[in-house]
Structure 1
Amino acid sequence: MRPGDRRPHLFIARPGSRGMSLSDRFGTSRAVHGSMLFLVLVWGLAFVAIKQALVYMSWITLTFLRFAVADLLFVGSLAARRQLRPAPRRADLPRLTLLAFVGFTGYHLFLNLGETDSTVTAGTAALIIASTPAFIAVLSIPLLKEKIRPLQAAAIALAFAGLGLMIFFAHPGSQFRFQASQGALTVIPSAIFSALYAVFGKRSLVRYPPASLITWTLLIGTVLLLPLLALTFPGFVRDLMTMGVNGWLPVLFLAFLPTFLGYTIWFRALARLPAASAAAYIYASTLVAVIGGIAILQESLTTAAVVGGVMVIVGVFAAQRFGRR
């Protein structure tokens, strides 16, 4: 290891370790699963909150305000624990900038833009994002030199077929008539960016603790937003003047619960749960988004959206199972 390389050292007492009593292990397990159920709720409702916020502001304003508030929370948390330094090495800045764009700036801009389309419900957006593991598997072939088994490839094809069904046949009111939703097409890059973040982020997590990696990439992602914000500055100011409390509430919800608290819970849970168990909770968050959109926003789902969504979830789940064999 070269001078200046700092790798995180984390000890977590696991079930069966001598450092934990049976009651401690049971309590820890209950706490982890309880926190993951909370995460399922807030990550699922995030798609609903985006829809609510976009009533009062543009997709660019929403992205910037969510980032700005979350920046304050992450930086404040690291500063309170005296973990803000060291700053990222200069040699790591290109990779961190790439991660910032695909994981935050690009992901949220395209997701928010897609949800401005009235044809894209909160549930449809969540189902499209649920295809991320399929994109991870495909991108891992050229980028990580991983191989895909035949059954895994078939499962991925099923997921992509479901994705196509949602995009090209799930236009509200059209049922199974071929009519592409531009908003749904706009959300697709977010799923791809999320997959790229997972693929490229593996190496960076070796060098930086999760909290530091998220904080620095989110800060860089906010900086990447500034040129776009400058181009639309009059609209940004107008949004701030008119959004009111009803606009700020979903922004604060998105910044604090799904972003700051959500990522904190997620990485702590990954240290204590098998990856497959953690992934199962993410699928549940998609269901929360669908139900939340129907219950809170009075959204409707077409038959094609339901069938396509089931195909995506089943395909992704099967691809992950076949990939582990």
Structure 2
Amino acid sequence: MKSGRRFLTPGVTALAPAIWGSIYLVTTEWLPPDRPLLATTVRALPAGLIVLAFARTLPTGIWLWRALLLGTLNIGAFNFLLFVAAYRLPGGIAGMVITAVQPMLVLVLAALLLGDGIRYTHVAACVLGAGGVVLLVFKGTVDLDYFGVAAALAASACMGAGITLTKLWGRPNGVGLLPFTGWQLTAGGLVSLPFTLSLEGLPTTVSGTHIIGFCYLISLGAVISYAIWFRGIEKLPASAVSFLALGSPIVATLLGYLFLNQTLSILQLIGIVVIIGAVLLAQPRPVDPRGLDSHDRNPSRRGIEDRP
């Protein structure tokens, strides 16, 4: 990887969490109120079916259950648990738990399943990322709901496992990125659909603003962002991708300040800077002409991120 292009792929991949950070604003301003499961299902299922209709490629063989599992982990179960945690935990604590814990889980899973090496820079990035997220979203003493905390931790586990397994299995030969994305969106939507129908039901009225919001979720919030995300998982180490998700709370905070009259304190600005530093620290190191990482000349300690 040439040093001048070191951050090109991470920069493109970071667009996905940036889009996801805007979904909070879209949900609160453009969607029917108090229907998070409906938002999850509409975001995933129509998008997946539209992609499959154009791609005309369905999973077969072993990829039937792999697509179902990946769609459940990356989309269906993750979003369901996220919304459960968001309802039971105040002040962005759900997002704080998920974004702070998830890179740590991916680091361990990638070491166990992918053989990625854990470096001191990875540990430092975990500490910095967690600290930055706390500065960004924590607003004083709160009473924590233990069920909500458990849901947030489970959401972190789903996302971490989804990233790692997506990296481990890759894509089947001859299947493009969009069909692969469509498989997972469809699976995730089908998993969340029963919960939506049983717990929330369908809205009785839908306005033009709601339609615009749903279109945003389906296009940018699902097809485009997840295609970018899965492309990043293919090209980057799993640990590097997991840290890019820390960009989501940054975007959500900035949009809240710009459009919802929310406050932006000095501590939050410091948190943003710390998070960005953690993300940069976790990205792959430049490789010298001999193929060794500039910070590690011992080939036996090289991880996937050091391979040309």
When normalised by structure 1's length, the TM-score is: 0.66
**In the alignment, which of 115, 120, 130 is matched to residue 160 of structure 1?**
130
Question: Where in structure 2 are the equivalents of 1:1-325 lying within 5 Å?
Answer: 42-52=19-29, 56-78=33-55, 84-85=56-57, 87-116=58-87, 119-120=90-91, 125=95, 129=99, 132-163=102-133, 170-171=138-139, 174=140, 177=141, 179-180=143-144, 185=149, 186-207=151-172, 208-232=175-199, 235-237=200-202, 240-265=203-228, 286-301=249-264, 307-308=270-271, 310-321=273-284, 324=305
Post-superposition CA distance 1:119-154 (Å, at most 9, x none): 445x98489547644432122123324331234223
CA gap of 1:128–1:298, structure 2 versus 1, over 3 A, is farther
Q: Secondary structure at the match of 2:283?
A: helix
Shift of 1:165: 6.0
The answer to whether the 8 A contact 2:70-2:165 is kept is: yes
The answer to whether the 8 A contact 2:171-2:180 is kept is: no
For residues 303 and 69 of structure 1, the distance between their equivalents in structure 2, rounded to whole angstroms, comes to: 41
Code of the residue aligned with 2:72 in structure 1: it is F
The answer to whether the 8 A contact 2:133-2:271 is kept is: yes
Q: Secondary structure at the match of 1:90?
A: coil
For residues 271 and 144 of structure 2, the distance between their equivalents in structure 1, rounded to whole angstroms, comes to: 14
Shift of 1:241: 0.6
Post-superposition CA distance 1:198-241 (Å, at most 9, x none): 11012432414322221112212222223323422xx313xx21
For residues 102 and 136 of structure 1, the distance between their equivalents in structure 2, rounded to whole angstroms, comes to: 13
CA gap of 1:109–1:280, structure 2 versus 1, over 3 A, is closer
Q: Secondary structure at the match of 1:222?
A: helix
Code of the residue aligned with 1:102 in structure 2: it is L
CA gap of 1:135–1:49, structure 2 versus 1, over 3 A, is farther
Shift of 1:53: 5.2
Unaligned runs of 5+ in 1: 1-14, 16-29, 79-83
The answer to whether the 8 A contact 1:159-1:312 is kept is: yes
The answer to whether the 8 A contact 1:71-1:215 is kept is: yes
CA gap of 1:98–1:304, structure 2 versus 1, over 3 A, is farther
* Bigger Rg, which one: 1
Post-superposition CA distance 1:26-60 (Å, at most 9, x none): xxxx9x99988976764432232233356524221
For residues 269 and 222 of structure 1, the distance between their equivalents in structure 2, rounded to whole angstroms, comes to: 22
CA gap of 1:210–1:132, structure 2 versus 1, over 3 A, is farther
Code of the residue aligned with 1:140 in structure 2: it is A
The answer to whether the 8 A contact 2:17-2:248 is kept is: yes
Q: Secondary structure at the match of 2:201?
A: helix
Question: What is aligned with 2:291?
Answer: none
Unaligned runs of 5+ in 2: 3-7, 286-302
Shift of 1:63: 1.2
- Count of residue pairs the alignment pairs up: 279
For residues 52 and 127 of structure 1, the distance between their equivalents in structure 2, rounded to whole angstroms, comes to: 25
CA gap of 1:320–1:192, structure 2 versus 1, over 3 A, is farther
The answer to whether the 8 A contact 1:57-1:243 is kept is: no
CA gap of 1:274–1:148, structure 2 versus 1, over 3 A, is closer
The answer to whether the 8 A contact 2:132-2:271 is kept is: yes
The answer to whether the 8 A contact 1:59-1:113 is kept is: no
For residues 181 and 54 of structure 1, the distance between their equivalents in structure 2, rounded to whole angstroms, comes to: 27
For residues 270 and 153 of structure 2, the distance between their equivalents in structure 1, rounded to whole angstroms, comes to: 18
Shift of 1:253: 0.9
